[in-house]
Amino acid sequence: MSITLDQVTKRYQGVPVVNDVSIDIGDGEFFVLLGPSGSGKSTLLRAVAGLTGVDHGRISLHGRDVTHVPAQKRDVGLVFQNYALFRHMTIADNIEFALRVRRMRAHARRERRRELLRLVALEGMDERLPAQLSGGQQQRVAVARALAHKPEVLLLDEPFGALDAKIREELRRTIRQVQRELGITTVLVTHDQEEAFALADRIGVMNFGRLLEVGRPDELYTRPATRFVATFLGAANLLLGHQTKIGVRFGTAEADGAGADAQAHREHEVVAVIRPEEIELAPEKRALACNYLAAGTVEEVAFTGALERLRIRLADGVSDAQLSRGPNGDGDARLEVTRTQHEQRAFGVTPGQAVAIGVRRIHVLPTPLSSFTAYAANAAQATYLSQQPLLVRLAARMHTRVSVRVTDENATVTGAAVVAAAPDSGERIEWLMKKGAEEVLVLPHDADNPQRVLIHWADEAARAATLAVAASLLRHVAAEGVYVGILPTSTPDGQRPHSMRALLDARSEAQAVHGLEMRTELHFGNLIESLAGRLAEMPDQILILGVSQISGLAARFEALLRAQARAPLLFVYGSRDPRA
């Protein structure tokens, strides 16, 4: 491996900006770190270059641990967004800078400079000053300068940010070509997904300091695992559906063959991704060549050259399913559709026209916490609960919604249930789980953004479900995840190695199955006391607690619910056997 990051964490004023990131980047690989601004990708790159220290974790280059090696000795080449050329030096002197530092002889320097200028197609520019070159040319010089000392890895920090579209494309091609020619391991940071697609062998998507997913561009586009990656890489319509054996059902529409999952043991709520180009329009249901989704009305048609962009309002009944709403989360939902010229000629549409909507391909996200539903004894309380700031923020970040429901005997429960923290929450959790809730969030009214997420499962059978929920939550908050293992003090010594192994297994399972990096710690003592003690340490934490026994839950955790009233508790039901 060329670059290995192991649980790298960097905090600014206590807040993790790079949070437990682990990556292996292979020799000669072109790796793109993609994420919105503030996602920690540039900080991570600077950490690899040695310009920023890390608070935790290890960085190795070609098997050499460089975590504490200064930038001068790391042997990396770094290219900046604003070129960072030395303006008082000629191009020749800029390129030879690293060679001069290394006291290379003049003729050898000249030789190397010629070679590099040829590589970036700037022959004959030696005696110019940076100010006499165009932006694109300056960035080529910066690339040549970064490669002069034959570094082991090339790091590019938004190198095209300051350039206009045409130059950008040209330079992109040059960089790809240079990278192939030299076979140098390269990491590029960008917020532009098109750039990432054009250059990357593999892409790592970052958000809130976490590395969410790593994969080939086509893999990530067609089979994202998280809501963020689905919406950040290209446009996506997110719909809440119900997974059944024969397909995914949206709202009141009939379930159809699309997205069928024979493994689905029972109907449950899922988040489905439909790409705009996977939607087909036809005058009526029978004319569709693919699975029918719903009826709708064309609202907006925009011509953008090769593609036509449409916004379509779904017919009532199905429109409830839609998640990708306006910026406030309450705007009217519209389905985004793109169609090729060919499709336009086959069936032209105008605003106001009623159409049948078909879907060629549905991708179901393997993520829990599909939506939130606030439960309370009356509508006013439920509405109040649904407006709790932390809940609203979580829902917005998860691109999902918060519904409101009054507790009544006939209700069936889907998605994650939310109840207000109260002395009797134990009974409520028990009741909701019996009704089918897989996750119940007990929310104090003043809970704020968590800085730490504690993870524990009281029953081994709930492990998989708890890890899945923890992974999903941690992707949407800038907090560190800590798995708390608890060993009763009465554990015989012979049992202890076994418990340690279980702890390590939990960590590697989290990493392997969910790409979730978390800390692990082991406590000796009583379960409730240990958890309550950990929660009392600092404000702004969340505890995710996995259980597999619903009966007696209220009594079992009464002490915990009573002991602390500040932190939200997320109870997760999980069992090895599918619940009937």
Partner 1 sequence: MKRWRQPSVLPGFGLTFGFTTLFLSGIVLLPLAALVLETASMSWREFLHVITDPRAIGSYRLSFGASLLAASINAVFGFIIAWTLVRYEFPGRKMIDALIDMPFALPTAVSGIALTSVFASNGWIGRYLEPLGIKVAYTWIGVTVALTLIGMPFVVRSVQPALQEVQRDLEDAAETLGAGRFYIFRRIILPTVLPALLTGFTLAFARAVGEYGSVIFISGNLPMRTEITPLLIVIRLEEFDYRGAAALGFVMLVISFVMLLTINLLQAWGRRRYIAAGH
Strand 569-573 with 439-443, pairing:
antiparallel
Closer to partner 1 by Cβ: residue 41 or 46: 46
Residue from 49, 156, 337, 486 touching partner 1 (CB under 8 A): that is 49
Contact between 90 and partner 1 by CB under 8 A: the answer reads: yes
Closest CA to 151 of 177, 120, 183: 183
According to the binding rule CB under 8 A, does residue 363 interact with partner 1?
no
Q: Is 251 in the site for partner 1 (CB under 8 A)?
A: no
**Nearest-approach distance from CB 186 to partner 1, in angstroms:** 14
Number of amino acids touching partner 1 (CB under 8 A): 32
- In whole angstroms, what is the distance from residue 73 CA to residue 28 CA? 21
Query: Is the Cβ of residue 103 or residue 342 nearer to partner 1 in the bound state?
Result: 103
d(CA 179, CA 153): 10
Cβ burial of 529 (10 Å; 0-12, 13-18, 19+) is: middle
Minimum CB–partner distance for residue 43 and partner 1 (Å): 13
Closest CA to 272 of 293, 286, 290, 287: 293
Residue 38 C-beta: closest distance to partner 1, Å: 19
Please, what is the minimum distance in Å from the beta carbon of residue 71 to partner 1?
4
Binds partner 1 by CB under 8 A, chosen from 109, 145, 227, 311: 145
Question: Measured between alpha carbons, how far is 271 from 332 in angstroms, rounded to an integer?
Answer: 19
Binds partner 1 by CB under 8 A, chosen from 12, 53, 64, 86: 86
- CB of 42 vs partner 1, minimal distance in Å: 12
For partner 1, the closer CB: 93 or 558: 93
Note whether 54 and 8 are within 8 A (CB).
yes
> Should residue 69 be labelled a site residue for partner 1 when binding is judged by CB under 8 A?
no
Count CA atoms closer than 13 A to 505's CA, side-chain side: 9
Q: Pick from 102, 265, 434, 579 the residue near partner 1 by CB under 8 A.
A: 102
Q: Which of 98, 279, 391, 532 binds partner 1 (CB under 8 A)?
A: 98
Smallest distance, partner 1 to C-beta of residue 95, A: 10
Give yes or no for residue 390 binding partner 1 (CB under 8 A): no
179: which residues sit within 8 A by CB, 6+ positions away? 30, 154, 186
Q: Which is nearer to partner 1, 76 or 479 (CB)?
A: 76
Residue among 72 and 328 whose Cβ is closer to partner 1: 72
The minimum distance between CB 372 and partner 1, in angstroms, equals: 42
383/432 Cα distance (integer angstroms): 18
Q: Order the strands of the 279-282 sheet from edge to edge.
A: 279-282, 354-359, 291-304, 307-314, 335-340
Q: Which residue in 7, 62, 80, 182 binds partner 1 (CB under 8 A)?
A: 80
149 binds partner 1 (CB under 8 A): yes
Among 3, 5, 92, 271, binds partner 1 (CB under 8 A): 92
Nearer of residues 32 and 146 to partner 1, judged by Cβ: 146
CA distance 126 to 515: 48
List the one residue from 77, 450, 481, 546 that touches partner 1 (CB under 8 A): 77
d(CA 385, CA 445): 8
**Paired sense of beta strands 291-304 and 237-243, if any:** unpaired
The rounded distance, in Å, linking the Cα atoms of 507 and 470 is 12
Residue 59, beta-bridge partner list? 5
Q: Is 422 in the site for partner 1 (CB under 8 A)?
A: no
- Nearest CA-CA partner of 233 in 172, 185, 276, 271: 276
Considering only residues 54, 146, 421, 473, which one is a binding residue for partner 1 as defined by CB under 8 A?
146
For residue 350, state whether it binds partner 1 (rule: CB under 8 A).
Answer: no
Write down the H helix ranges in 161-272. 165-182, 193-199, 217-222, 227-232
DSSP 332-394: PP-EEEEEEHHHHHHS---TT-EEEEEES--EEE--S---EEEEESSHHHHHHHHT-HHHHHH
Query: From the CB of 37, what's the least distance to partner 1, in Å?
Result: 17
- Binding segment toward partner 1, per CB under 8 A, in 13-21, 144-152, 212-220, 314-322: 144-152
Q: Which of 16, 35, 40, 50 binds partner 1 (CB under 8 A)?
A: 50
Within 13 Å, how many C-alpha atoms sit on residue 424's CB side?
Answer: 6
By CB under 8 A, which span of 145-153, 218-226, 276-284, 464-472 interacts with partner 1?
Answer: 145-153
Q: Does 187 bind partner 1 (CB under 8 A)?
A: no
- What ranges make up the beta strands (E) of 377-474? 402-406, 416-420, 439-443, 452-457
Separation between Cα atoms, residue 291 and residue 72, nearest integer Å: 59
Task: Kindly tell me which of 86 and 347 has the beta carbon lying closer to partner 1.
Answer: 86
Q: How far is the CB of 114 from partner 1 (least distance, A)?
A: 17
Least Å distance between CB 141 and partner 1? 12
148 binds partner 1, rule: CB under 8 A: yes
Sole window of 6-14, 44-52, 466-474, 567-575 interacting with partner 1 (rule: CB under 8 A): 44-52
Is 89 near partner 1 (CB under 8 A)?
A: yes
Q: Does position 82 bind partner 1 by CB under 8 A?
A: yes
* Residues in touch with partner 1 (CB under 8 A): 46, 49-51, 70-74, 76-78, 80, 82, 84, 86-90, 92-93, 97-98, 101-102, 129, 142, 145-146, 148-149
